[in-house]
Amino acid sequence: MNLNNVKPMHVPFVNLAVQYAELENELVDIFRQVGRSGQYVFGPQVELFEKELSLVCQSNYALAVGNGTDALALALLGYGIGAGDEVITAPNSFIATAGAINEVGAEIRFADVDEDYNLDPQRVVEKISEKTKAIIVVHLTGNPAKMNEFRSIADEYGLVLIEDAAQAIGAKYQGRKVGSLGDVACFSLHPLKNFHLMGDAGFITMRDSEIFERVKKLRNHGLINRDEAGFWGRNSRCDTLQAAIGLKKLPYFEKWTARFQQIAAIYTSELTGIVQCPYFRKEDAPVFHNFVIQVEKRAEFMQILLDHGVETKIHYPVPLHLMQAAKNLGYKKGDFPVVEKQAERIVSLPIYPELSNEQVEHVVNTVKRAASLINIELKEA
């Protein structure tokens, strides 16, 4: 089989300009309104945005911050986690997850993952020590982790349960929203996330009022009033303009999320048995920030897709424990075999609401034909 009958079409991996074009007039109006107001940091629009985000995530509280990495670090600091403590997380996330642990002075402890790319609860239990204070569970690709099991583990060992939900706003675990499942949850609103603003931003959801009040001060230098700080904090304030953009975009959020899920359903239906499609539980509702398949001969596969207009990425090709930054942690190749095997095979397909049906069909057809071509080559070899 060859690809000569695949109609040429360009499918970018991301295309942020399309969403902007659809909302341009509204967003330009927002810029004028904020500019004329003279309120550029915090203010009523930030507070309203936080209230709306808490409703989206079914949480008691939400706080807007500078970015998703700050959200993770502030969550740890809010619980007093730092030097001498250990925090367990996954080695297949974006570097910010582990980086936030390092930033607050705690020790990073990795555990291997399961077939859904998320932390394996049993492997986490094996890593718990007397120094362990928290688990950061990553809902990778927008697919919720096994939160009931992690809740039980956290309760049994007296640990803080933190959701790294940077890729998972809107996802549901057994009918409950991500962001309401742990003690605290951390989100990114970076332009590459499934719900995004026009620059760096993030937010934190939490259930405890004391943690809410502490983190609220931590993000603003620890200030208790204009002139006095109650403790050392940091600057992670949310820009008024970003919050205003978020308020303008939130009415579209459910529609965009549904489109992510619709495209993922098409990919799953059409490509299962041809490539290894993502694993997810039927009782959950992932949001598919990324649609990650697994293939053999990945480089050849990706090149064939690129030759026919389909851009793909790898999230993430180098596990965290094998990065130079983690050298001091003492890990080596072979320590986390599931993560390492997945890292050699994973490929992310284009998925975002602005993809046309024709583009989705082109991705499906090109993947099918590329997989077939590679299989023929493998048989002939």
pLDDT averaged over 10-residue windows placed end to end, the chain, 381 residues: 66 97 97 97 97 98 98 98 98 98 98 98 98 98 98 98 98 98 98 97 98 98 96 96 98 98 98 96 97 96 97 98 97 98 98 98 97 67 33
Model's pTM, two decimal places?
0.96
Q: What is the pLDDT of residue 378?
A: 44
Output the six-digit token pair for 87. 């925090």
pLDDT score recorded for residue 4: 59
Give ranges for CATH 3.40.640.10 in the chain.
19-251
Q: What is the pLDDT of residue 343?
A: 98
**What residues does CATH 3.90.1150.10 cover in the chain?**
252-380
- Tokens 């959020």 sit at which residue? 253
pLDDT at 3: 56
- In words, the CATH class of domain 19-251 is alpha beta
pLDDT value at residue 379: 47
SS (H, E, C) the chain: CCCCCCCCCCECCCCHHHHHHHHHHHHHHHHHHHHHHCCCECCHHHHHHHHHHHHHCCCCEEEEECCHHHHHHHHHHHCCCCCCCEEEECCCCCHHHHHHHHHCCCEEEECCECCCCCECHHHHHHHCCCCEEEEEEECHHHCCCCHHHHHHHHHHHCCEEEEECCCCCCCEECCEECCCCCCEEEEECCCCCCCCCCCCCEEEEECCHHHHHHHHHHCECCEEECCEECCCCCECCCEHHHHHHHHHHHHHHHHHHHHHHHHHHHHHHHHECCEECCCCCCCCECCCCCEEEECCCHHHHHHHHHHCCECCECCCCCCHHHCHHHHHHCCCCCCCHHHHHHHCCEEEECCCCCCCHHHHHHHHHHHHHHHHHHHHHHHHC
pLDDT of residue 359: 98
- In 3D space, the residue among 356, 317, 54, 354 whose CA is nearest the CA of residue 194 turns out to be 354
Integer distance in angstroms from the first to the last C-alpha of the chain? 16
The pLDDT value given to residue 199: 95
Q: Check: CATH 3.90.1150.10 for 252-380? A: yes
pLDDT of residue 361: 98
Per-residue confidence (pLDDT) for residue 376, from 0 to 100? 46
Rounded CA-CA distance 189/66 in Å is 9
The Cα diameter of the chain in Å comes to 75
With tokens 């026919």, the residue in question is: 308
Distance CA 59, CA 370 (A): 44
